[in-house]
Structure 1
Amino acid sequence: MKFYQITLLLCGFVLVSCTNSEGNLIPNSENSQLNKSAEAPQRQLSEAFKAYWYAGDAEITSYALSQERYGELRDGTAVTIFVTEDFLPEAQVKADRASSSNIPVLKLNKTKNYVTGIYPYTVMSSTFTPAAAKSAALKISHATQEWCGHVYVQLNNRDQFEIIQHSYFEGEADASKTLEKTWLENDVWNLIRLKPEELPTGNLTMLPSFEFFRMHHKDIEAHNVSAKRTTTDSLVAYELNYPALKRNLKIYYNKDFPHTIERWEESYADGLVTTATKMKRIKTAYWGQNSTTFEHLRDSLGL
């Protein structure tokens, strides 16, 4: 089967502007090796999934953020924007027009805004995960801007993970590398929304989030992690514990479809805990709402 043929299961859907899904490869919990993208098994998408995600709008959720930075907690906001869209398999960018060769992906744009002393931080990560194929994200990008300068990291999922980074820090500037395929922490957020029972559990290797690498100025490489799921009332907590990094991440999501993410927390050895708690959630086609007449929608999100 050719790479592009994986998309055929979803070709019947009409995908509007920022809408679609599909792509490369994710290991199962017994096997940390990824197959070639053309060999990716397919996941069955329910009618409820199709009705929710292919309705021509995005799910936008705002969170009250308490962010650890420089040994203190900073108040701010976080926003997750989940949307389906068509993706070009070779260029690995959003497709401008419909085609049978496009890959439908679930995209997450995750943003944070907070202030450290006199100057602000703006953080954004984008993850493009196939909807139909059980595959790792086709692409991940991350950018951080603050008054000292900015950094950018991008992963493209091809025969290996191809990574480029640019930074105003001398030791991080204009670098590139390849890594063997493994689990991706950035992918976890999309997998929760696609099919949370596919989340890996047990002891495995994973590439932590690009936000973590850049904020802590660490080399981008996979680390051992212990992963588990715990159900509490209507929520499930998915927990990642990286012993060598002394880092713990917990993501709390609804156990019932559409498995919305209600909060998360991230802790380190210093004892400070970053938290994000849901404020508001709306579904809307935001990309067509750039007129001043739509600014009231920010009030709907508590922004």
Structure 2
Amino acid sequence: MKGMKWMLVLMALFFTCMPQLGRQDLSAKASTVKKEGKIGLGPYWFEGKAEINHYTLSQNRYRDLHPGEAVLVFVTEPFLTDKQVKNDQGQKKNSTTVLKLNNIQRFTTGIYDYSVMTSVFTPEELKRFPHSLKVSSSSQDWCGQTFMQINQEKENYKVELRSYFENEGDQNLSLPQALLEDEVWTRLRMGPDALPLGTVQVYPSAMYIRLMHKPFKAYTVEAKLEKYAGNEFKGNNLKVYQLNYPELERKLEIVFQDKEPYLIEGWTDSHPALLDKQMRQTIAKRTHTLMEAYWQKNNLKDLPLRKDLGID
């Protein structure tokens, strides 16, 4: 009976949007934690659930700070390194475990609203895969939509851009690899030791590039990791990771708990606004966190869980 019970559980997982099939040992701790010191994923990430975080958002856009919310969903899943898609069939060949982030940000701008989503796929094995294998991002508002995808291809990134703006149009680029700002969030969750420090080359986030209509290229950045001494975020033993872009007059600060699993309390993003060039600061603050197999919670009876996340 126990064998039949586990067979039914595995079959159910296979048909969800986030199957764990393809992982060599679902109950095992992340191998890199033991082999490579502090960097890696611990058992917290392999319980068959996703970590869902809700944040209030004040977004720098046009000439104002606009109200909104952000949801960051972190979850592990098997990922095919050749096709660079989720391993649905459970093949072991060309498969690795990634920490996936779905970063959804929604905010209003006057009468109309924005919806931006970025997905990041960062391998657990950072020594074998020093950069994320894939980032995809889309933005929708009443004017139209844009889409950007970055795939690791040998020593370069294959970049596709699709946009309704004439000056951006359809682009296909091949660019040298460097740190992706979008992968900082997943690398941070693997431990602060996974974060580069000092002068580094960084590609800004897909969301920033698209909303500010900047060329996608690597910028020289000063990266710092310090004890958090501000007063915007509350908590004990907080640290802040800073990326300072002199050329863009931009500073990103991510504040997080200095103990596993390094929960992100929020972030600030300071840069000149798009239209009036005045310096303003986006700020996001965590309100709720829930560990849940959300892909199984899709019935009307599950609506109350949204209140548990602080979502209207």
Normalising by the residue count of structure 2, what TM-score does the alignment of the two structures yield?
0.83
Counting only pairs closer than 5 Å after superposition, residues 75-94 of structure 1 correspond to structure 2 as 75-94=67-86
Question: CA shift at 1:113, angstroms?
Answer: 0.7
Distance 1:162 1:49, change over 3 A: closer
16, 22, 33: which one pairs with 1:44?
A: 33
Distance 1:276 1:196, change over 3 A: same
Structure 1 residue 138 and structure 2 residue 133: aligned? yes
Identity across the alignment (%): 38
Q: Distance in 2 between matches of 1:224 and 1:19?
A: 38
Question: CA shift at 1:103, angstroms?
Answer: 1.3
Structure 1 residue 65 and structure 2 residue 73: aligned? no
Q: SS in structure 2 opposite 1:258?
A: coil
Structure 1 residue 192 and structure 2 residue 188: aligned? yes
Amino acid in structure 2 at the alignment position of 1:280: H
**For residue 248 of structure 2, what is the aligned residue in structure 1?**
245
Q: Distance in 2 between matches of 1:21 and 1:196?
A: 29
Q: SS in structure 1 opposite 2:307?
A: helix
Q: Distance in 1 between matches of 2:107 and 2:293?
A: 26
| Conserved? CA contact 2:33–2:41, under 8 Å | no
Question: CA shift at 1:184, angstroms?
Answer: 0.9
Q: Distance in 2 between matches of 1:148 and 1:236?
A: 38
**For residue 38 of structure 1, what is the aligned residue in structure 2?**
none
Question: CA shift at 1:19, angstroms?
Answer: 5.7
Amino acid in structure 2 at the alignment position of 1:110: N
Q: Distance in 1 between matches of 2:83 and 2:41?
A: 27
Amino acid in structure 1 at the alignment position of 2:33: Q
Q: Distance in 2 between matches of 1:82 and 1:203?
A: 28
| Conserved? CA contact 2:221–2:244, under 8 Å | yes
Q: Distance in 1 between matches of 2:192 and 2:90?
A: 29
Distance 1:86 1:280, change over 3 A: same
| Conserved? CA contact 1:21–1:103, under 8 Å | no
Q: Distance in 1 between matches of 2:115 and 2:194?
A: 31
Q: Distance in 1 between matches of 2:159 and 2:110?
A: 32
Question: CA shift at 1:99, angstroms?
Answer: 2.0
How many residues align structurally? Answer: 270
- Runs (4+) of structure 1 exceeding 3 A deviation are 19-22
Q: Distance in 2 between matches of 1:130 and 1:65?
A: 28
Structure 1 residue 273 and structure 2 residue 281: aligned? yes
Question: CA shift at 1:43, angstroms?
Answer: 3.4
Q: SS in structure 2 opposite 1:157?
A: strand
**For residue 267 of structure 2, what is the aligned residue in structure 1?**
264
**For residue 115 of structure 2, what is the aligned residue in structure 1?**
122
For structure 2, the 5+ residue unaligned runs are 1-9, 23-30, 229-235, 273-277
Summarize deviations over 1:243-266 as a string: whole Å, max 9, x none: 000000000010000000001000
Q: SS in structure 2 opposite 1:186?
A: helix
Question: CA shift at 1:21, angstroms?
Answer: 11
Q: Distance in 1 between matches of 2:20 and 2:146?
A: 29
Counting only pairs closer than 5 Å after superposition, residues 139-288 of structure 1 correspond to structure 2 as 139-159=134-154, 160-232=156-228, 233-269=236-272, 270-288=278-296
Q: SS in structure 1 opposite 2:33?
A: coil
RMSD of Structure 2 on Structure 1 (CA) = 2.0
Question: CA shift at 1:271, angstroms?
Answer: 2.2
Amino acid in structure 1 at the alignment position of 2:47: A
Distance 1:21 1:171, change over 3 A: farther
**For residue 104 of structure 1, what is the aligned residue in structure 2?**
97
